[in-house]
Structure 1
Amino acid sequence: MSSDAAAIFRGGQWMSDQQGALDGVRVLDLGQQVQGPQAAQLLSDLGAEVIKVELPEVGDQGRWTTVSPDDPRSPIFIACNRGKRGITLDLRVEAGRAVFLRLVDTADVLISNFVPGTLDRWGLGHAALAERNPRLVYATGSTFGPVGTDADQRGGDLAGQAAGGLIARTGPSDPTPIGATVADHLGSQSMANGILAALYARQRTGRGQRVDVSLLGAVLFAQAHELTYSLLTGRNPGEVDRGHPLLHALYGVLPTADGHIAIVGVIPEQRPVFFETIRRSELLEDPRFTAPLYPPEVRHELFDRLSETFRTRSTADWASVLREVGIRHAPVRDYTEVMQDEGVYENGYLERFEHPEWGETVGMGCPIRLSETPARPGRLAPELGQHTEEVLLELGIGWDEIATLREVGAI
């Protein structure tokens, strides 16, 4: 981090009274689970005001995925809904839709990843809302895309991973899902990027537009290298083992005495110092191991030999040795080890904070740093309907009308 940046960055927080990049932008978040909510949360971190709209008594489906049957905390909801105000509103009933339309009049962005066609059936499709608020950026997320034979199919993260070829690429034998909801998270990034582009275009045109993203599209984009190989050759890349099947190099994961370490490529010019540093200089005498590229069988043999050596010392020892000679590497860490790394707090990727019920805890930060319009991870994820009355009063809805809305089940 530069000295200029450090001057305004302390303990994972930007120490500045400057406005966020999206200050003044209002977002209505109808999202469920991860794709929509995390996109909205990123916009909140960048300065937007986000109002999360949930079904009364039910809420975002992400609330249902709890730590355990005995622990009602939801990692999904907590992780993807920080920095928002939360209201309940039943869009299936006329009174709820009427209130929502008043919110739409004040909004810059609407986010949804309902099953395709849901909002249209409620009279809240893009055409209807764009006629009412031409400046609205209307962002929708799906699993398989807005057109095609599967466009109206239900899905989710696992379907995105499967349909996009990601599961088939993972694991040395049976297809294995990634150990995180990566399709959902990639989809949220696509959605946020599309929204930012639409907001920028609106500055020129004065009009909003529809933004369509999908888990399938995001997963394919994230595999551009591997898919291009298949497009060029008509073949699938080789099996994923200790490295990457398309990187025919000294690149991959090696076992250590107490874990594993990732070697992020040793170019031919570095191999003498690498082999000498790990005390395997005899490998330099074999021209197969000094060649620019390794055929798969040579690479496997080399990694078998290197594994014997790396198992003799701890991950920390090897990291220290490799750092000294400039070999790119990283320890293979689990989440508990990640949480012990002060660097993730110093950069603001994770944040320590005091929770009113749980005490001192750790939450997600923001991965983006802007020097002039700093990101600010916001308030705790809202309780269901926590800010309903506050938001409705701001809309000019009085207490008598709020009581009526509650009686008819609209809020």
Structure 2
Amino acid sequence: MLDQDRPGPDLDVRLARGRAALLDDIEQPPLARIRDRAATRRRRHAAGTAGGAALLSLVVATTVALQPWTADGTDPAPPPVADAPPGGPVYTGAGITINGLTASAVAHVPGTIGDVEFVDPDHGYLLARCGVAKPCPASLARTSDGGASWEHTELPAGSAGQHRLELAAFPDGRLLVSHPGGAYASADAGRSWREVDTGDGTGRVAAVRGDLLRAGPGGGRCGLDVEVWRPDRPRAGAPATSPDLDVCWVAPAAGADGAWWVGGFRNGHAAVALTRDRGAHWRTVELPDTGTSARTVEVASLGSQAYAAVLGTDRSLLALYHSADGGRTFTRSRSDASGVPAGISGALVPLLDGRLLVTGTDRQLYLSADDGVTFQRAGGSLPPLARLERTVAGYVAYDLFGSGWAAYSADGATWRKLQII
């Protein structure tokens, strides 16, 4: 057992859970409406309207006194995205908040958003690809202010028409965009690119700080194995040792504690493996009472809390497991596929308040407050979306409103819609 495997205290989780419960009991004001009225008053003041500021204060005070938040006591409907007032709309439900577009300009990038990676809460990268009907070179957009503003650069012309492109972002601003047979590398946050060769994913290499672990071709039940990717060479080799299971899934990023998870099967049973030293050592745990119809196993962790989802065809949720000891042992939370959500699209997202957030295959957000035993729809004014994905520094939500928008969150609870489409 590794020393780093000892679980940390859960005091922060318990305190955050109490805070979230309190916030859920407090009715929220219609911030978009208040901001809209405030913007109108400011414009009148700028035009020389006498007494505008005093009138604004009177109107707001009267509104709060006589009509706490809405005229009929119901939650306000989310404002149309195209008509977002200065400050932007706010979408909420069950303690989850998505801050909408602000009045600043929205960047436009050719094609549609494919991958988004944030290496810290300020610095993020976005890969966009064009469709088959109108092929164009892929584009890489970058932000240094958390997604409020963007600039983009085209990749080499050979990226036109490529649809199997994968973005890998490294903390120092170096980027890789892989494609079948090769990759493009950038050492300056995507401003310039060069073609680089890829390895074959074989041959043992000692993964070092800054290297990434990825799933690559292999053997076993799912035909995959763990590979080491480096800023100047994808598929640089295999880690020093391999996990003791048939690999079906590799986490896209390490957790905040450095834990890198792998999911798969061992001896016919669903299993998970964990490394804290980039593949030098692994700890493998079989999950109890799993059937034979499962296709993959995916894991998420936060502190000493960990969840493992056993997924079937079309990402149906067959079983869900919870660990309170950093992944040493798991107990089964959900034992069949009869509950909601019926399937999970994208990543499991453990929250600081102890709840678990997921996107169902029905494009709705669901939350569990009992370690995955039951889930309820987040509801409120939260938009439908395609999936949630883990990134180096937080999470990304894709295809909000079914319109191609993306959002970023450092903690899974508070999101910011990215000002780019």
The structure whose RCO (Cα within 8 Å, separation 6+) is larger is: 1
Higher Cα Rg, which structure: 1
Report the TM-score when normalising by structure 2: 0.28
- Greater share of residues in helix: 1
- Greater share of residues in strand: 2
